Chain A
Amino acid sequence: MLQIEDLQVKLGDKEILKHIDLEIHPGETHILFGPNGSGKTSLLMTIMGYPQYKITAGKIIFKGEDITDLPIDERAQLGIGMSFQRPPTINGLKTRQMVQLCARDAVDEETLAKKVNFEGFLDRDVNAGFSGGEIKRSELLQLLAQDPDLMLFDEPESGVDMENISLVGKTIASLLQKGFLDAETKPKMQAKRDRTKMGLIITHTGFILDYVAADKGQVLYDGMLSCVSNPHEILNCVGESGYEECVRCISTIN
Chain B
Amino acid sequence: MHIDDQLRERAKKAIEKKGAIGPDVNLHEFDDAPVPHSYMADEDLCAIPGEEQKQLIMAGLDVTKKERGGTYFQKDTEVIHCHSPQDGIEVIPIRKALEHHDWVRDYYWKLAAVDADKYTAAAELGLHDGYVIRSLPGSKSVYPIQACLYLDKDGIQQNVHNIIIAEEDSELHIITGCATSPHLKRGVHVGISEFYVKKNAKLTFTMIHNWAEDMMVRPRSVAQVEEGGLFLNNYICMKPVRSLQMYPTTHLIGKDAVARFYSIIVGSPGSEYDLGGRIFLKHPGNRAEIVTRTISNGGDIIARGHLIGEVPDIKAHLECRGLLLNGGLIHAIPELEAHVDGVEMSHEAAVGKIAQEEIAYLMSRGLTEDEATSTIVRGFLNVDIPGLPPQLKAEIDRAIEESDKDVM
Q: A50 is contacted by which of B360, B362, B365, B366 (Cβ under 8 Å)?
A: B360
- Which of B10-18, B126-134, B372-380 touches A? B372-380
Chain B hits for A71, CB < 8 A: 363, 369
Is residue A98 contacting chain B, with contact meaning CB distance below 8 A? yes
Query: How does the 8 Å CB contact mask read for B362-395 relative to A, with 1 for contact and 0 for none?
Result: 1111111100100110111111000000000000
B360 touches A92 (CB 8 A): no
Query: How does the 8 Å CB contact mask read for A43-60 relative to B, with 1 for contact and 0 for none?
Result: 000001111000000000
Chain A hits for B383, CB < 8 A: 92
Is residue A36 contacting chain B, with contact meaning CB distance below 8 A? no
Is residue A14 contacting chain B, with contact meaning CB distance below 8 A? no
Chain A hits for B379, CB < 8 A: 90-93, 125
Closest to B400 in A: A92
Chain A hits for B368, CB < 8 A: 73
A77 touches B366 (CB 8 A): yes
For residue B384, give the distance in angstroms from its CB to the closest CB of chain A. Answer: 8
Is residue B357 contacting chain A, with contact meaning CB distance below 8 A? yes
For residue A140, give the distance in angstroms from its CB to the closest CB of chain B. Answer: 13
Instruction: Compute how far the CA of A101 lies from the CA of B375 in the bound complex, rounded to whole angstroms.
Output: 10
Closest to A152 in B: B364
Is residue B361 contacting chain A, with contact meaning CB distance below 8 A? yes
B361 touches A76 (CB 8 A): no
Closest to A84 in B: B361
B364 touches A101 (CB 8 A): no
B357 touches A92 (CB 8 A): no
For residue B8, give the distance in angstroms from its CB to the closest CB of chain A. Answer: 48
Chain B hits for A90, CB < 8 A: 358, 361-362, 375-376, 379
Chain B hits for A73, CB < 8 A: 363-364, 366-369, 372
B365 touches A98 (CB 8 A): yes
Chain B hits for A84, CB < 8 A: 361, 364
Total contacting residues, chain B, CB less than 8 A: 22
Given contacts A71-B369, A73-B367, A77-B366, contact A92 B361 (CB under 8 A): no
Given contacts A91-B379, A93-B375, A93-B376, contact A76 B364 (CB under 8 A): yes
Given contacts A88-B355, A90-B379, A92-B380, contact A102 B360 (CB under 8 A): no
For residue A103, give the distance in angstroms from its CB to the closest CB of chain B. Answer: 9
Chain B hits for A77, CB < 8 A: 366
Chain A hits for B367, CB < 8 A: 73, 101
A87 touches B376 (CB 8 A): no
Given contacts A92-B378, A92-B382, A93-B375, contact A82 B358 (CB under 8 A): no
For residue B379, give the distance in angstroms from its CB to the closest CB of chain A. Answer: 3
Instruction: Compute how far the CA of A75 lies from the CA of B381 in the bound complex, rounded to whole angstroms.
Output: 29
Residue of A88, A102, A146 ringed by the most chain B CB atoms within 10 A: A88
Contacts of B154-173 to chain A: CB distance below 8 A: none
Given contacts A92-B382, A93-B376, contact A87 B363 (CB under 8 A): no
B364 touches A72 (CB 8 A): yes
Chain B hits for A92, CB < 8 A: 378-383
Chain A hits for B381, CB < 8 A: 92
Is residue A193 contacting chain B, with contact meaning CB distance below 8 A? no
Closest to B355 in A: A88
Instruction: Compute how far the CA of A90 lies from the CA of B361 in the bound complex, rounded to whole angstroms.
Output: 9
Given contacts A88-B358, A90-B358, A92-B383, contact A48 B364 (CB under 8 A): yes
Chain A hits for B365, CB < 8 A: 76, 81, 98, 101-102, 142, 146
Is residue A104 contacting chain B, with contact meaning CB distance below 8 A? yes
For residue B225, give the distance in angstroms from its CB to the closest CB of chain A. Answer: 28
Instruction: Compute how far the CA of A12 lies from the CA of B314 in the bound complex, rounded to whole angstroms.
Output: 49
Chain B hits for A104, CB < 8 A: 366
B363 touches A76 (CB 8 A): yes
A102 touches B366 (CB 8 A): yes
Contacts of A145-204 to chain B: CB distance below 8 A: 146
For residue A192, give the distance in angstroms from its CB to the closest CB of chain B. Answer: 28
For residue A136, give the distance in angstroms from its CB to the closest CB of chain B. Answer: 15
Chain B hits for A142, CB < 8 A: 365
Chain A hits for B362, CB < 8 A: 90, 101
Instruction: Compute how far the CA of A87 lies from the CA of B355 in the bound complex, rounded to whole angstroms.
Output: 12
Chain A hits for B364, CB < 8 A: 48-49, 72-73, 75-76, 81-82, 84
A91 touches B366 (CB 8 A): no
Query: How does the 8 Å CB contact mask read for A27-53 relative to B, with 1 for contact and 0 for none?
Result: 000000000000000000000111100
Which 8 residue pairs across A and B have the least CB separation, nearest first? Answer: A92-B379, A92-B382, A93-B379, A72-B363, A76-B366, A73-B363, A102-B365, A88-B357
6 A-B pairs besides A73-B366, A98-B365, A146-B366 with CB distance below 8 A are: A71-B369, A76-B366, A81-B365, A90-B361, A90-B379, A142-B365
Sampled A-B contacts (28; CB under 8 Å):
A49-B364, A50-B360, A51-B360, A71-B369, A72-B360, A72-B364, A73-B363, A73-B366, A75-B364, A76-B363, A76-B364, A76-B365, A81-B365, A82-B364, A88-B361, A90-B358, A90-B362, A90-B376, A90-B379, A92-B381, A93-B375, A93-B378, A98-B365, A101-B365, A101-B366, A101-B375, A102-B366, A104-B366
